[in-house]
Structure 1
Amino acid sequence: MNQSKIIIFKVPEFPHLSETFIVAQIITGIKLGYEVKILIRKLLDNDTAVNSILIKEYGLLDKIIIEDYNIPKNRLVRLIKWIFLLILNFRDLNYIIKYYKEFSKFSLTCLYQWLFFQRFKNATLFHVQYGTNSKPLDILKKTGFKPAVIVTFHGHDAFFPINGYIPNNGYYDNLFKYADLITANTPYLADKIIELGCPRELLSIIPVGVDTDFFYANKESKIIHSTLKLITVGRLDKVKGHDYCILAVADLINKGVDVTLTIIGEGKERKSLEDLIAQYQLEDKVFLKGKKTQLEVRQELWEHDLYLLTAVALGDGRRETQGLATLEAQACGLPVVAFDSGGIKYTIEDEKTGLICKEYDVQEVSDKIKLLYSNPILKIEMSMNTKDFIKQNFSQNYIDSIWEKEYLQLLKA
């Protein structure tokens, strides 16, 4: 349908094992019939991700272009080549001068950068992943670059100082003025972006979708057991609040509930979580299982009863913006018990597919889990509700249909 139309997906690094949502977004473009290229700064040597079924099936590695400006390391050679390139592109001198004026300091690099992006001047649009990855497209658009630019924010890119060091000194001013579309995955993240100065009319809320052909309820693997098996999936980071999960389990055991907790993921908080498990003598109740493939995660979800997410705010106020794992769990038939933190509540239908608790309130989490433990019929009803909720609101097919409309609207503009 759109074979003559080109989408350039601009991604910082590829392929990340944890960034399945970016792979899904790229595949959306391919499925909609666009010619797709993937522009990256760094190619990761990650065998597990590189060899994933989807990356191989869609030939994504063959679509990669490295963002290399081909700048000579030798200063003299760099200058001579710069002069030669300037003469060679004399007809575009007006655009080059406009581009240079946007920088406070003169640098030879700017010309190399400007010329690199000119190879994409006939592309239909750039779809940038992460606001911090939008440069230099914001300045290029300001100085006459023709392709449309969509920027999808994911969370950390909306909280300053970004990555602990990038200040908000007008960092997104050009982006919010010259981009064609900004997207956020939940109303929570959208509000944060608007607070940074993004015009409301420029912003669309488009959730990250779930592949419901892969994540689904498998009744054959579901074993009825007396122990209530809780599970949570995510990197071991303070924002995920795994310590509150562990405290909830300790409280449930004190209340006489036969419960276990499986934590899937790896990260810098492992040691502190191990210490907490030991402190409450939960070694035979709480299991840190490390990283797992998507196939392994799905199998684990099938073998558990409830999904638990006790995400909390970080010191800078940043919270979980959507929570893809809660969607995958519900797609597999698991009700969710979660803190009302950030955008998580938008991924759950409270009292129908799960239960939302006040942030930091371990007692409420414990009480609501016990309620489902004591009322298996309610738990089964919630489990039955999850399938339709996910398909109607978050299935990848549904999200693809939203993106199809957004892309077509930009093509017509």
Structure 2
Amino acid sequence: MKQILFRIRQFPHLSETFVLAQMITAKKAGFEVTILIDELLSFQESTHEETILKHQFDKRIVFEDYRIQSNKFIRLFKAAFILLKHFKNIKKLIKFLSLKKKFSLTWIYQFNFYKKFENFDVYHIQYGTSSKPFDILKKAGLLKGKLIVSFHGHDAFFPINGFIPNNGYYKHLFQGDNLIVANTPYLAGIIRSLGCPDKNLRVVPVGVDTHYFMPTDSKKSSDRLRLITVGRLDPIKGHEFAIEAVNKIKNKGYKIKLLIIGEGDHRELLENKIQNLQLEEDIQLLGRRNQEAVKYYLQQSDVFLFTSVPLKDGRRETQGLATLEAQACGLPVVAFNSGGIKYTFRNGENGFLCKEFDVDCLVKNIELLFEKKIRIEMGKRSRVNVQKFSLKNIEYQWAQIYNEL
């Protein structure tokens, strides 16, 4: 049977429904799935427990553990034993070590750990930062299968996580025949600018479960236009501009309500802004909510507002999965034209795009959506538009990739 290794730091992770969908797709394509992780999260707290157990993915988990001895002499002795054990692969080991920037006994243990995966057919890595040491193990000739790396956003902007410099960080990854996947043409362009050749690059969006996120007929009545936005309380999400838009609309005499779902370091700043503008009755910070709660609040809302903006280093939102979940629930979208957002909905058909930081544009288009007929028609078109991002459609694209390999 063909074998595929999925590399993901945490599993099962609530925000990575798409990874689980890829695993199921690979299984359907005839692959035996192995999941390499650093941290195991609770199955009981996951919304996917039933699916994980159904496919027996709980039995396919391997922890990245090099089993390095704490005692210095035992560590040296075992490293020497590993060298003897891999004598037939000494050329590959030497090349692997030569591709490292500096020598460490850890790399010998690392080589030994990854050798168990050498004959896998495919290695599918989630996030560019997790591509190490696969990139140089592949280049050294130890890993024989095809390497796929899915980038998701922060992993393409340097310094990554605020401290990883671009000193040839992806040099080895972008060489050879490794397949690099971006979620939008915007992110693909960023990756291309880092040195990835076009022949190695493909765009596959992150999909949304359109059978889970659906419109509801039980929406509660309200005399206000109900706006909602979902995203961590972080500068890149631009929640302060959503607050400013609500303030301007209220000052025009409209009745409006904004729910903000998410948590983060920006909470105090947003709370102060809401208080200073006396919008406590109009804007509610709901904090972090699980997927079921997010779906409920989307279904009870009228318009999805997404005010993501660029950071000082130029980093922008690369796709915006929340806009897809909102469309699946039948909501029109009003958003800043930032990063890859424009690829998730159709401007003028099921939502409106505004220039980054243009709050007046947000206000003008939200005013249009006070007209119920326009709002309902756009919401219907949202449900149609989102089908191309459905898990079924995205699974088909991944099935084609896995079968090609």
Q: Distance in 1 between matches of 2:299 and 2:30?
A: 34
Of 77, 82, 105, the residue aligned with 2:102 is: 105
1:64 paired with 2:61, answer: yes
Q: Secondary structure at the match of 1:135?
A: coil
Gaps of 5+ in 1: none
8 Å contact from structure 1 (residues 229, 305) kept in 2: yes
Say which is worse superposed, 280-289 or 88-97, in terms of deviation. 88-97
8 Å contact from structure 1 (residues 131, 153) kept in 2: yes
- Listed as ranges, the matches of 1:125-144 within 5 Å are 125-144=122-141
8 Å contact from structure 1 (residues 141, 179) kept in 2: no
Aligned to 1:402: 397
Q: Secondary structure at the match of 2:373?
A: helix
CA RMSD of aligned residues (A): 1.6
Aligned to 1:309: 306
Of 243, 266, 270, the residue aligned with 2:267 is: 270
Q: Distance in 2 between matches of 1:52 and 1:236?
A: 28
Q: Distance in 2 between matches of 1:149 and 1:97?
A: 21
Instruction: Describe the shift of the 1:14–1:169 C-alpha distance in structure 2 as closer, same or farther (beyond 3 A).
Output: same
8 Å contact from structure 2 (residues 309, 317) kept in 1: yes
TM-score of the pair, normalised by structure 1 = 0.94
Q: Secondary structure at the match of 2:215?
A: coil
C-alpha deviation, 1:103, in angstroms? 2.0
Q: Distance in 2 between matches of 1:245 and 1:32?
A: 44
Instruction: Describe the shift of the 1:336–1:53 C-alpha distance in structure 2 as closer, same or farther (beyond 3 A).
Output: farther
Q: Distance in 2 between matches of 1:328 and 1:361?
A: 24
8 Å contact from structure 1 (residues 151, 179) kept in 2: no
Q: Distance in 1 between matches of 2:51 and 2:266?
A: 30
C-alpha deviation, 1:55, in angstroms? 3.7
Q: Secondary structure at the match of 1:48?
A: coil
Aligned to 1:380: 376
Aligned to 2:2: 5
Q: Distance in 1 between matches of 2:41 and 2:71?
A: 27
Q: Name the amino acid aligned to 2:397.
A: I
Aligned to 1:23: 20
Instruction: Describe the shift of the 1:336–1:51 C-alpha distance in structure 2 as closer, same or farther (beyond 3 A).
Output: closer
Gaps of 5+ in 2: none
Q: Distance in 2 between matches of 1:143 and 1:236?
A: 42
Instruction: Describe the shift of the 1:328–1:124 C-alpha distance in structure 2 as closer, same or farther (beyond 3 A).
Output: same
Aligned to 1:148: 146
C-alpha deviation, 1:47, in angstroms? 5.7
- Listed as ranges, the matches of 1:7-406 within 5 Å are 7-44=4-41, 48-49=45-46, 52-144=49-141, 145-218=143-216, 220-373=217-370, 375-391=371-387, 393-406=388-401
Say which is worse superposed, 259-268 or 58-67, in terms of deviation. 58-67
8 Å contact from structure 1 (residues 352, 385) kept in 2: yes
Q: Name the amino acid aligned to 1:325.
A: A
C-alpha deviation, 1:46, in angstroms? 8.1
Q: Secondary structure at the match of 2:8?
A: strand
The C-alpha deviation readout for 1:280-302, integer Å capped at 9, x for no partner, is 11111101111211111111111
Percent identical: 50
